[in-house]
A = this chain, B = another copy of it.
Amino acid sequence: MKILVLGGDGFCGWPTSLHLSDQGHEITIVDNLSRREIDLELEVESLTPIRPMGERLRVWKELTGNEIRFVHLDLAEEYDRLEALIAETAPDAIVHFGEQRAAPYSMRSTAAKRYTVDNNVRGTHNVLAAIVATGLDVALVHLGTMGVYGYGWSGSAPIPEGYLTVKVPTPDGDIDREILHPANPGSVYHMTKTLDQLLFAFYAKNDGLRISDLHQGIVWGTQTPQTVLDERLINRFDYDGDYGTVLNRFLMQAAIGHPLTVHGTGGQTRAFIHIRDTVRCIQIALENPPAAGDQVKVFNQVTETHRVAELAEMISKLTGVEVAYLPNPRKEAAENELNVDREKFLELGLNPTRLSEGLLEESRDVAVKYRDRADTTKIIARSTWRKGMEVSPDLVKE
């Protein structure tokens, strides 16, 4: 297949591009390098030493003979170039990771809120409008988030894969209706993915676009079989308060002897997936697209669920590093259950990497190996959901 990977320089996009290239697909990465630019703005760096795109692609070609093309392009700001690229490439599929993806960053400032909405909504809509404008039959696979659902809405029922059948009371008795699971986003970032859902539903209905939306849990891990081939192919590892995801943050904190920072009670249950499974899920979604005229195909891209405090305790036991309970900068329930339907990918052959298998390897090969690159002043979360919310005290004195 010819595939465009939008956002192919990012944490999920890069290993996905290599995985699909490795499978024999013809890959074009499209990226505005915004993730690297936000690193400059936040004055942080990936714990792992990521290389410029040109070097990454040169090394990949040397090692495997596979050519990946790179187009530096902003989805939100350069519509005409995007449409021309799609028309000229005539891809079979587009994988869309090209959105600002950190919830704390999206709540950090007015500018960050606005950037997140403007970039994500315009970019996604431009992709849809461009597919329609070219008239090509292109399957779209989009990375959504479990955060579109919120938590604990449906009592003891698991969160379904996108759609829910409810009973609507009418004067003639209850009628069954299938609805998109109601949106309950917890941040401006998550909100943009609920907007994306409505864009997708409309373009699937009006234009017959073939769209899959993958509601992913929190990704952990760093390397895939491809990124591990050469240090110059290494994937990024974020540990800062805005972009660091909880499990990777704990592993890095443990590696440098920094207390494991839990925000709030740690009773929040979250869904997880290893980056190796992310790239496999994208492949499976590409191989199983909906037909034209179908509704958007929604998958929950999740392999296990854990309470945050439970993860911290697990890593604390493994490493001897203590757990620190800090104020919660988010507006969210102190505790929640989380029960998620995740059958679709399993039925299509996903064989998940368990937390219990991958944790030590991740800690040894990434967090410990690169710990000297850490800037400890960037670990603590400073973004708050509303003005006046308590922020975390500094835990490590220089």
The chain A residues found within 8 Å of chain B, CB to CB, are: 79, 83, 110, 113-114, 117-118, 121-122, 125-126, 129-130, 132-133, 135, 153-157, 164-172, 174-175, 177, 179-180, 182-183, 185, 188, 191, 194-195, 198-199, 201-202, 205-207, 331, 385-387
Q: How far is the CB of A389 from chain B (nearest CB, A)?
A: 11
Contact B177 A179 (CB under 8 A): no
Q: A155-B168, A156-B172 are in contact. List 5 more A-B contacts (CB 8 A).
A: A83-B110, A156-B170, A179-B179, A183-B198, A185-B198
Complex Cα spacing A378 to B194, Å: 38
Chain B residues whose CB sits within 8 angstroms of the CB of A172 once the complex forms: 155-156
Q: Which one, B110, B168, B331, contacts A129 given CB within 8 A?
A: B110
Residue of B122, B188, B195 near A118 (CB, 8 A) is B122
Q: Which residues on B sit within 8 Å (CB–CB) of A182?
A: 177, 179-180
Q: List 10 A-B contacts (CB under 8 A).
A: A110-B129, A114-B129, A118-B122, A166-B168, A167-B167, A185-B202, A191-B198, A191-B199, A195-B198, A205-B331
Q: A155-B175, A175-B154 are in contact. Are A387 and B135 (CB under 8 A)?
A: yes
The contact of A157 among B110, B114, B168, B205, by CB within 8 Å, is B168
Chain B residues within 8 Å of A169, by CB? 157, 165-167
**CB pair A206 B331 closer than 8 Å:** yes
Contact B183–A170 (Cβ < 8 Å): no
**Known contacts A114-B126, A117-B125, A198-B198, A168 near B191 by CB under 8 Å:** no
Residues of B within 8 A of A125 (CB): 113-114, 117-118
Question: Which residues of chain B are within 8 angstroms of A183 by Cβ–Cβ distance?
Answer: 180, 198, 201
Q: Which residues of B contact A130 (CB under 8 A)?
A: 110
Interface pairs A-B: 10 shortest CB-CB? A157-B170, A167-B167, A166-B166, A155-B170, A110-B133, A179-B182, A117-B125, A156-B170, A191-B202, A156-B172
From B83, B121, B164, A195 is in contact (CB under 8 Å) with: B121
| Chain B minimum-CB-distance residue to A166 | B166
With contacts A155-B168, A168-B157 taken as known, whether A188 is within 8 angstroms of B175 at the C-beta atoms is: no
Which residues of chain B have C-beta atoms less than 8 A from A156's C-beta?
170-172
Min CB gap A202→B, angstroms: 5
- Chain B residues within an 8 Å CB radius of A154: 168, 170, 175, 177
A110 to B126, CA, bound (A): 9
Chain B contacts of A179 at CB under 8 A?
166, 179, 182
A347 to chain B, nearest CB (A): 21
What is the CB-to-nearest-CB distance from A106 to chain B, in angstroms, rounded to a whole number? 11
Question: Which chain B residues lie closer than 8 Å to A133 at the CB level?
Answer: 110
